[in-house]
Amino acid sequence: MKVFCFGSLNIDYTYKVDHFVQKGETISSESLQVFSGGKGLNQSIALAKAGADTWHAGSIGEDGRFLLAQMEEAGVHTQCITVLEETRTGNAIIQNDTEGDNCIILYGGANQAITREQVDEVMRQCQKGDFLVLQNEINELAYIMEQAHKNGLRIVLNPSPMNEKIRRLPLEYVDYFLLNEVEAGQILGREVKEGFDKEELGKALRECFPKAMIVLTLGKEGSMYLDEKESFLQPSYRVRAVDTTAAGDTFTGYFIGGLLRGLAVREAMDLAARASAIAVTRLGASPSIPCLKEVEAYSF
């Protein structure tokens, strides 16, 4: 069984700063590092490192060819990636502060140049029962979901970055939602305030999407899993964070990768929690994602 990740590929420009720049303020960064990134790329690499047969679909410009080599080195199949001659690769400007938090500005570039013909070609590579992992950093999401559902794929949606476009998608086709509390509130059309009741929020998601399996990530509090039969809380592993950029993508890749390798849901949730904890102790997006042997051997 394969997993296709149809998503973004970025070049990340990461600035180490004392604090996030404010309106009207000019600050100097301590350093600048250039990494491969994009939620799609990060999740594909996490999926492959978790042991899944991973195929990435998406688009880059000529300036992003080095991303192909990095993905292939991680074990990702790249035959479904289109290289565009006249469009730049998507990129991100990332501020990383002394607490390990980050803020990000995205430029879509080639990620927003997906065509329906490209989608149709990718679907011809898929088989019924394969997984399709999606985020919200490419165009043509609705068409991708419609064709995936028509072809019997199991759809995984990480609705990030969340905006109104998500609520216009055929969300009834989604088999797995992976989202944080802010995204959950937005997708439900409600505000999630500090000190919210996670059990209540999870119940509301289940009522809205009764057929879907839901993973609600809760930051330092861990994550929650909910489906028709069970719900439980997965605690987080305590580490000293230096860069949280790819933590969610690592969690997504290892959770779905664990399921594809035949793990039970509770085992896959724990594996994902361990992998994402390791990722935040390292700088960069995709370079921070650990391999499966590291995750299994790491002592917390």
Give the model's pLDDT for residue 193: 75
8 A C-beta contact, residue 39 and residue 160: yes
8 A C-beta contact, residue 114 and residue 59: yes
Compute φ and ψ for 228, nearest 5 degrees: -65, -25
For residue 131, the 8-state DSSP code is: E
249 among known catalytic residues: yes
Q: Which residues is 61 bridged to in the sheet?
A: 84
Give the model's pLDDT for residue 75: 97
User: How confident is the prediction along the chain (300 residues), in pLDDT tens digits per residue?
Assistant: 999 999 999 998 999 999 999 999 999 999 999 988 899 999 999 999 999 999 999 999 999 999 999 999 999 999 999 999 999 999 989 999 998 888 989 899 999 999 999 999 999 999 999 999 999 999 999 999 999 999 999 999 999 999 999 999 999 999 999 999 999 999 998 888 777 888 899 999 999 999 999 999 998 899 999 999 999 999 999 999 888 888 999 999 999 999 999 999 999 999 999 999 999 999 888 889 999 999 999 888
Task: Report the Cα 104 to chain-centroid distance in Å.
Answer: 15
Strand 223-226 and strand 154-157: the pairing is unpaired
What is the chain's length?
300
3-state secondary structure of 175: strand
Identified catalytic residue from 12, 130, 243, 249: 249
Reading the block at residue 221, the tokens are 């509090």
8 A C-beta contact, residue 131 and residue 153: yes
Strand 90-96 and strand 77-84: the pairing is unpaired
Give the model's pLDDT for residue 220: 86
Q: Has this prediction a pTM greater than 0.85?
A: yes
